[in-house]
A = this chain, B = another copy of it.
Amino acid sequence: MTDELSHQGYRMTPQRLMIVAAVENSSNHISADEIYSQVVAKYPNVNVSTVYRTLELLERLGLVTKTDLGGGRVMYHPVEKGHHHHLVCKECGAIIDLDESALMPLKESLLHQYQFIADLRHLGILGVCVNCRQQTPKKPAESQQGE
């Protein structure tokens, strides 16, 4: 990714090098906060805003994807490590992985019908998983124990 950045005319600052390294070394997904922790460990004076700004840049250049997997934190993933999606259960928070191919038909149809290039490289799709299908949403009075 660093090559890509400098070839595109962006400056290679130590902050960027470390942020890029953190994203590349992450096994799968990584949050801005985790990146920040890693970077601060070596450069104690870097700021979170730099992390966010760098991630925004990487996303704009198509080098990383940004995905909301629920739970308040947005996750980042290097594009070069392959595309995939996630089914996120609203009830239990379970995350089921999904192959990229699952959204290809949709991407195609949006392209043909609307000439819209949908960014469907790394989606978090909300819903309810098999295990939570039976359960009804808990009402105020009857909050006994719905296990």
* A9 on the B face (CB < 8 A): yes
Check B127–A61 contact: CB distance below 8 A: no
A89: B residues at CB distance < 8 A: 116
| Alpha-carbon distance between A118 and B133 when the two chains are bound, in angstroms | 11
Distance in Å: Cβ of A106 to nearest Cβ of chain B: 5
- A89-101 to B contact mask, C-beta < 8 Å, 1/0: 1100000101000
**Does A120 make an interface contact (CB < 8 A)?**
yes
A27 interface residue (CB < 8 Å to B): no
A9 to B137, CA, bound (A): 12
Q: Which residue of B is nearest A123, CB measured?
A: B125
Q: In the assembly, what is the distance between CA of A128 and CA of B56, in Å?
A: 17
At the interface, yes or no: A44 with Cβ under 8 Å from chain B?
A: no
List residues of chain A with CB under 8 Å of any chain B CB. Answer: 8-10, 60-61, 87, 89-90, 96, 98, 102-103, 105-106, 109-110, 113-120, 125-130, 133, 137, 139-142
